[in-house]
Structure 1
Amino acid sequence: MHWADATAKKIIKKRQKQNPKKYLISSGITPSGHIHVGNARETLTADGIYKGLLKEGVEAELIFIADNYDPLRKVYPFLPPEYEKFVGMPLSEIPCPEGCCDSYADHFLNPFINSLDDLGINLTVYKADENYKNGLYNDAIITALNDRDKIKGVLDKYRREPLPEDWYPLNIICEKCGKLSTTKVINYNSEESTVDYECQCGHKNTVKPFDGRGKLPWRVDWPARWKIFDVVAEPMGKDHGASGGSYDTGIKISQMVYRYGAPEKIIYEWIQLKVGDKALPMSSSSGVVFAVKDWVKICHPEVLRFLLLRSKPSKHIDFNLKTLPNIVDDYDELETKYFGLKEKEGNGEELNENEKDKIRLYELCTPKIPNKLPLNIPYKFCVIVSQIAYNPETETIDMNKVIDILKRNNYEQAELLKYEENKEDYNKLKTRLYCAMNWAIEYGEKLILIDSNTAKENYNELSQKQKEWIKLFRENLKNMGNNEESYNASSIHELIYDSAKEIDLEPKEAFSASYKILLGKNYGPKLGSFLSSLDKDFVIERYAL
């Protein structure tokens, strides 16, 4: 059973006595920087559980709370120095760094929200600033102020040094400087529902701390929102779920102050971004990020779902952009198995648990399941084809050239891509080609054919045996027919080996010689497929050295 379904069953079992009308799953993020793939793990984990609940036949809802009312904590590496004046102000009240959005928070939040549809995530978005300004937290603020001794007692149990006796569980946004991290509540009048506060900027006042004037600190805000939204489960990073973390204090505050049972604890591990030989935890503040908005530039959204949902949330993931083609291969393999297993199931054959799990994983990863097995051209091959078929004058990939290349590489379905009934396959292939090309340019290797002069220089450095092979291979290549049955990847592959065998040359020496005169390297893509993708006249001319 997939972990999302198992978690959903567990939640229902624990909550069924309460007979909830709706099972609400929450996730969220503070949009202080680029929302990256590591952040997406929380939202996709929540989405997996949400879909697991729906499978069980209960009413469920998925929400996302953007903590955009949190203060800017420092001038991050990606910000100009002048943002120092905004440190301490709520993110929603700070101007956009590039002037393209309504606020600093929206600048980082909007691209993520816009990606949700592509990712197949259907949720309701709430913004903390609106929640506070619309009065959603007003009662929770009064409750926290009235029970501040209980809250302080809970927090002090997990602190080395107790909070000051005059501490209040509330931050006020200064009316003069607009900051909330530099203010201090010095008195609360329960009869008038007002607080006295002072700010480091020198401003003092007595205000009603409602409708956005005041904000609960995180360790109080979190349990308050559980009660406000009636949350039954919420994924959390391991820092929040650690012993003495905000979940442990949140449970007690939720029960003792807000009279609400805390949601199910679901901890997810960090995703580390592989940079060179090091794997570093993704962090917006440190600049170690790969933004969700950038994923769709290099790969299909369902592959990101696959990457994050195939493992339990507690399993550590190292994300290496250079190995993306392998992840796509794994997804394509799952997709092929899915359609095979569905056919087997449709024929009345019994599936084992492992086969059922594969079907379920594919369903969770693929928001829009196609009617039939798509034509999946391997991502690694798309990296090559896209660059060969790219027309720099029009800045587009020539799809007619792509289809010709595929036909020469024994993809018999390629000709069918031209017809209307195969538009779905055509569009998916086109998307994959552009993604693969973007990946190659940014994270892989550009396919650059060296000029003839450089090829000649490299040819002169080859062994006599390699030079002899190049001449022989060229002659044999010339004798091949130009039609697809003759000039194709498999035929060229055989010719490489046969020509090498004819002069008793190790095949790897033949491959190395070819790459040197084509790419200026000792390695390259599969040679048979590569040569068949190039114009035959060009290949024959290049081997005439």
Structure 2
Amino acid sequence: MLETDNVKGMFWADQIAEKVSGRQVVNDSKTPSGRVHVGALRGVIIHDVIYRALKDAGRQAVFCYGNDDFDPMDSLPVYLPKEKYAQFMGMPLSEIPAPEGNGSYADYYFNEYREVFEKLGAKPKIYKMSELYKSGKLNDFIKTVLENADKIREIYKRVSGSEKPKDWLPFSVICEECGKIGTTRAFAFDGKKVKYKCEPAMVKWAKGCGHEGECSPFNGTGKGPWKIEWVLQWLNLGVTIEGAGKDHSTAGGAREVSDAIIRVVFKRDPPLEFPYEWFLVGGKKMSSSKGVGAFAKDVGGLLPQQLLRFLMTRFKPASAIDFTPEGDTLPRLFEDYDHAARVFFKKETDRDPDVSRIFALSQASEEKPKEMFLPSFPFVAAVIQVPGVDVKKVFEKHKGTPLTREEEKELKARAAFARVWLDKLAPEEAKLKILDKREAESQFKALSQAQKKALSEFAVFFEKNEDQNAQSAEIKRVCAENGIAIKDFFKAAYLLLIGREQGPRLLAFVNALDRELVVKRLEGIA
């Protein structure tokens, strides 16, 4: 198991790239049992980051991703009609019709997931397990597995404590009568054919038809259990690096069983391993088939691609990520991303030496990032709530020069995400309303005389001067001359404009508003 904490000053993926040599095959896979949850994206992004780090280190590398579509349907998603899909329980996902349109159930959900991770910049070489089995490419490996069933039974018992019957074979046949693969038990192999029975009560989630028969185990008539199938993937692709969720990497877990099988039965070394923690949404682990948690497709519409990738990349694999989209999580994530960009372009510094590298690997494109103006997300969220405001003009003034085409595109994207955030996730204090005349007059009456005088003096200056540095200096001057704290000036200004003691950055905000309105409010004539 790889440790990624012992090379100081080097990003975790670069540590992996530093430790290996020769051609590298990075692999990951997913069973498309339903709409794929966002947690599964962590695996694909972690492996893609490693793949990019390998290439940056000059290694020859390929990233493969498997559609484990030959797995049986072992649970029915809550969002699918039971009357239509209950009949398919136990059948290979590749042989079940899609909920909509043509094609298979597996392809329908895998392609939905693939669309999301490709937008995040992960574009691995895709393979389908059903095709590998049917092509015959796994035949020799399957034969070796069946011929060494006794050794594999011993490994299961020794490593995981799972004791299999003496006639148990590590292979599941597709029943020739009912088409189910999750209900069959293979119990004899003569070198050419396996004998099997489709058991009515072997599993709780599907009922076998009771058929007994024999068939060749080759060319897609069945599959290995997934701990065996993992080994078959490694052997067929020549996998050298593959991580796994922490539940598979525990002592006696699936990864340890598969590692032992490839060593003992095939006399090969397993791929370099690194366990990774969960990606949680609101503290909950997610399930594709149970409909628990946020689906990858939905979260892909909530966060811009580089931000979601940034969230996945910045944490070491062994660190859990608990993403709670409500509240101020999204604005803080944008601010962290923008800070990382400024560090990358050497506009700011950070004590964490990995920040610049994290930003580079967070880009959907593999091209070197280009420097551009990034509008503050909290300020974007504030500005779009101002009636009649020209958002583009506000941010061109904020930048000091016209926005480029890419900057304008980024502004529009952030404004769109801000609207979703304000509508569904933002706390009440983020939702702004400019006070009407009566409300502003009431707030002005409650201010101290010193506050009123300081605001009025600043209003005269503000009316004729648009330079925010000069405005900041003027605020300090009027506060000093009128004997009030700067925080009390800000508090009074916010109360007159939005009826709260705090709000968006004041100078940027008032310069985004109608200047005449601001002057009147500050002078108390609303």
TM-score class normalised by the smaller sequence: 0.7 to 0.9
1:267 deviates by 0.9
SS in 2 for 1:337: helix
For 1:35, the equivalent position in structure 2 comes to 36
Cα distance 1:450–1:101, how it changes in 2: closer, same or farther (>3 A)?
Answer: farther
Moved more, 255-264 or 194-203: 194-203
Cα distance 1:30–1:463, how it changes in 2: closer, same or farther (>3 A)?
Answer: same
User: Among 392, 409, 412, which residue is 1:403 paired with?
Assistant: 392
Cα distance 1:448–1:338, how it changes in 2: closer, same or farther (>3 A)?
Answer: closer
SS in 2 for 1:384: helix
Cα distance 1:179–1:521, how it changes in 2: closer, same or farther (>3 A)?
Answer: farther
1:89 aligns with 2:70: no
Gaps of 5+ in 2: 1-9, 200-207
1:237 deviates by 0.7
User: 1:196-221, CA deviations, whole angstroms, 9 ceiling, x for partnerless residues?
Assistant: 33242233333223333201111111
SS in 1 for 2:446: helix
SS in 2 for 1:530: helix
Once residues 504 and 341 of structure 1 are traced to their aligned partners in structure 2, the CA distance between those partners, rounded to angstroms, is 36
For 2:361, the equivalent position in structure 1 comes to 364
For 1:347, the equivalent position in structure 2 comes to none
Say if 1:466 and 1:509, in contact at 8 Å, map to a contact too: no
The alignment's TM-score, normalised by the length of structure 2, stands at 0.82
Once the two structures are superposed, the pairs formed by residues 119-198 of structure 1 within 5 Å of their partners are: 119-160=120-161, 162-190=163-191, 192-198=192-198
Superposed CA RMSD:
3.7
For 2:512, the equivalent position in structure 1 comes to 533
Say if 2:98 and 2:108, in contact at 8 Å, map to a contact too: yes
Moved more, 215-224 or 514-523: 514-523
1:498 deviates by 7.5
For 2:20, the equivalent position in structure 1 comes to 11
Aligned residues: 502
For 1:23, the equivalent position in structure 2 comes to 24
For 1:16, the equivalent position in structure 2 comes to none
1:280 aligns with 2:284: yes
Once the two structures are superposed, the pairs formed by residues 258-297 of structure 1 within 5 Å of their partners are: 258-274=266-282, 279-297=283-301
Say if 2:156 and 2:162, in contact at 8 Å, map to a contact too: no
1:168 deviates by 1.5
What is the identity, as a one-letter code, of the residue corresponding to 2:228?
V
User: 1:91-143, CA deviations, whole angstroms, 9 ceiling, x for partnerless residues?
Assistant: 2333334x156333233322332234432223101122222222232222222
Specify which structure has the bigger relative contact order, considering alpha-carbon pairs within 8 angstroms and separated by 6 or more residues. 2
Say if 1:305 and 1:365, in contact at 8 Å, map to a contact too: yes
1:271 deviates by 1.9
Cα distance 1:536–1:168, how it changes in 2: closer, same or farther (>3 A)?
Answer: same
SS in 2 for 1:280: coil
Cα distance 1:288–1:517, how it changes in 2: closer, same or farther (>3 A)?
Answer: farther
1:514 deviates by 6.0
1:491 deviates by 6.9
What is the identity, as a one-letter code, of the residue corresponding to 2:305?
P
Once residues 101 and 289 of structure 1 are traced to their aligned partners in structure 2, the CA distance between those partners, rounded to angstroms, is 28
What is the identity, as a one-letter code, of the residue corresponding to 2:416?
Y
What is the identity, as a one-letter code, of the residue corresponding to 1:197?
K
Say if 1:188 and 1:196, in contact at 8 Å, map to a contact too: no
Say if 2:149 and 2:169, in contact at 8 Å, map to a contact too: yes
For 1:466, the equivalent position in structure 2 comes to 447
For 1:307, the equivalent position in structure 2 comes to 311
Say if 1:385 and 1:433, in contact at 8 Å, map to a contact too: no
Gaps of 5+ in 1: 13-19, 345-351, 392-397
Once residues 378 and 51 of structure 1 are traced to their aligned partners in structure 2, the CA distance between those partners, rounded to angstroms, is 29
Once residues 175 and 431 of structure 1 are traced to their aligned partners in structure 2, the CA distance between those partners, rounded to angstroms, is 53
User: 1:331-382, CA deviations, whole angstroms, 9 ceiling, x for partnerless residues?
Assistant: 222222222289x9xxxxxxx9976x55443332233556742111122222
Say if 2:227 and 2:258, in contact at 8 Å, map to a contact too: yes
Cα distance 1:369–1:205, how it changes in 2: closer, same or farther (>3 A)?
Answer: same
Cα distance 1:209–1:387, how it changes in 2: closer, same or farther (>3 A)?
Answer: farther
1:239 deviates by 1.1
Once residues 325 and 145 of structure 1 are traced to their aligned partners in structure 2, the CA distance between those partners, rounded to angstroms, is 55
Cα distance 1:490–1:34, how it changes in 2: closer, same or farther (>3 A)?
Answer: farther
Cα distance 1:538–1:178, how it changes in 2: closer, same or farther (>3 A)?
Answer: farther
For 1:439, the equivalent position in structure 2 comes to 421
What is the identity, as a one-letter code, of the residue corresponding to 1:318?
D
Cα distance 1:296–1:249, how it changes in 2: closer, same or farther (>3 A)?
Answer: closer
For 2:7, the equivalent position in structure 1 comes to none
Say if 2:34 and 2:288, in contact at 8 Å, map to a contact too: yes
SS in 2 for 1:5: helix
Once residues 332 and 426 of structure 1 are traced to their aligned partners in structure 2, the CA distance between those partners, rounded to angstroms, is 16
Say if 1:11 and 1:232, in contact at 8 Å, map to a contact too: no
Say if 2:463 and 2:519, in contact at 8 Å, map to a contact too: no
User: Among 243, 250, 256, which residue is 2:251 paired with?
Assistant: 243
For 1:17, the equivalent position in structure 2 comes to none
SS in 2 for 1:64: strand
Cα distance 1:36–1:472, how it changes in 2: closer, same or farther (>3 A)?
Answer: farther
SS in 1 for 2:120: coil
1:333 aligns with 2:315: no
Cα distance 1:437–1:493, how it changes in 2: closer, same or farther (>3 A)?
Answer: farther
SS in 2 for 1:226: helix
1:253 deviates by 0.9
What is the identity, as a one-letter code, of the residue corresponding to 1:198?
C
SS in 1 for 2:406: helix
Once residues 117 and 469 of structure 1 are traced to their aligned partners in structure 2, the CA distance between those partners, rounded to angstroms, is 59
1:459 deviates by 6.7
For 2:412, the equivalent position in structure 1 comes to 430
1:379 aligns with 2:367: no
Say if 2:244 and 2:274, in contact at 8 Å, map to a contact too: yes
Once residues 34 and 386 of structure 1 are traced to their aligned partners in structure 2, the CA distance between those partners, rounded to angstroms, is 33
Say if 2:440 and 2:497, in contact at 8 Å, map to a contact too: no
Moved more, 248-257 or 515-524: 515-524
Once residues 320 and 293 of structure 2 are traced to their aligned partners in structure 1, the CA distance between those partners, rounded to angstroms, is 16
Say if 2:188 and 2:195, in contact at 8 Å, map to a contact too: yes
